[in-house]
Structure 1
Amino acid sequence: MTASSSLTLGRRYSLEVIRAVRNGLLLDGGSLGDVLLPSREAGDLQPGDSVLVTLYNDGQGSTMASVKAPKVQRGEVASLGVVSTSKLGAFLDWGMPKDLLLPFAEQTGPLRPGGRALVIVTTDREGRLLASAKLDRFMKDTCNEFQQGDEVSLIAARETDLGWKMVVNNRYWGMIARKELRAPLKHGQRVTGYVQRLREDGKLSLSLNAPGAAKSDALSEQILAALEQAGGELPLGDKSAPDAIFDAFRCSKNAFKQAIGGLYKARKIVIEKDRIRLA
């Protein structure tokens, strides 16, 4: 069993089966006590076996286990679908047997079934799992954890006149300037990004473009994919207008020329006056 001091609701652990009971299997939850894995999920497990489970609360506040992997774990941010609403708040689908409550006090606007909410999974004062859409309480505005060029996980949280405010690694706020976007982002979209600049005030400037050689390789792959999708030929070349290149690949003309030059040297494409084609 994972060290009992680290066990917390809303996360996944490998726990040992203690014994079988009428309605399932009891697992060793350490300081949380015995945890029930219901019969419908017990399979062929026997006492002494270990099983990977997610810990959660049932409707009566008891700790339960499920072999299902949640869409988001405690301490993580995700866009979740609204299943239903009640006098308590909205219930969200997080991939577990019991839907996740987003109380009215933790909402930032009205929600309806079929809609979505960008939330973090957390707990209330009694330790019960819930969701919160008030991300400002959980995200830090400044950070000294990263270096320029570091790869980070991003979630699009809020569009502004300058670009998009992003959740960085579930812990920080960062900003992507509009000019850095290769394509429009959607609220709640998860993307891989990079630390573009460490500002003097400690805030993060972000980019979706990989630095250096990695950026060139990614653009080359993007060009090859576009060529294959277009039947092997694109009406773009080293004489094309910068705007046309940017509209197609969200990159500068110089970066485009470097990428197609590398593909030409690798004998993957042929460069003509006003177009490129697969070799």
Structure 2
Amino acid sequence: MQNVVSAHFAKENKMDFNGELIVATVSDQNDDQIFSQYQGVTLATDKSQVDTELAVGDEIRGFAYENSSNQARLTPIIPKVGMDRYAFGEVVEVRRDLGVFVNIGLPDKDIVVSLDQLPQLSRLWPNRGDRLMIHLSRDKKNRLWGELADEDTIHAVANMAKPTQNNEDVQATVYRLKMAGTHVLTDDFFLGFIHPSERDAEPRLGEHLSARVIGVRPDGVLNLSLRPRAYEAISDDAAMILAVLEHSQTKSIPYTDKSDPEAIQATFAISKGAFKRALGSLMKAKKIRQHDGITELID
């Protein structure tokens, strides 16, 4: 009987506490489930989630929600996202007609972030594996939705950057797309901004990026770039020479910037000038060194 009540509660009750932390009263149980009552609704809890033995009349505290099968559930494993709790959740599904589904830690329920909150250009929507900072909301039908964290919330959790962070490498998540540029929050909770001139393509909302700090603003926001440092942007010639070195048993080649042009042309199919430029960029990047007529990799 309890299973029937649980499966069909939505037809008889309004679960206006969907997504909230509650304390319910145990009313029954079987081998797998514990059933409890709260405001006339029967909620089911997997016994595997409960550490102690419970009897009828005991209290059980947990997160109440309606799962993807429209069943009332109560889990003592509190998800990281709540009505008043913001956290990152991973995007697990994309529906162009609805929005994106985000995993907040529930075993049988993902939370939808409506397409109304997503960019107009679908190519800038999050992909599976991207992440969004959200909290929960409940609509007039008591259904749970994910709401993107607003600017005030992002700023409230952010740290103040310091000038000493200039030139650091950072990992960051895109939380806002604007005409002026891309706004991100680093993994260490610093605010960052990427001007369009510092990227090859506009990142997606929720995309996790590798960036470098090119400046620290007086307000503590990091100016970031997605472009490599000059010495990291090695040419095709340099990449080819590097590959030859890496595949050599001795990690070296019997050529330097003093080698004979014809030998260089015969071996690498490039001019001596191009060879010298490639070696120069690799030495600047501290990837190679030259001595005694050879060029070798630096460990």
Taking structure 2 as the reference length, the TM-score comes to 0.45
Decide which structure has the larger Cα Rg and report it.
2
The TM-score, its normalising length taken from structure 1, stands at 0.47
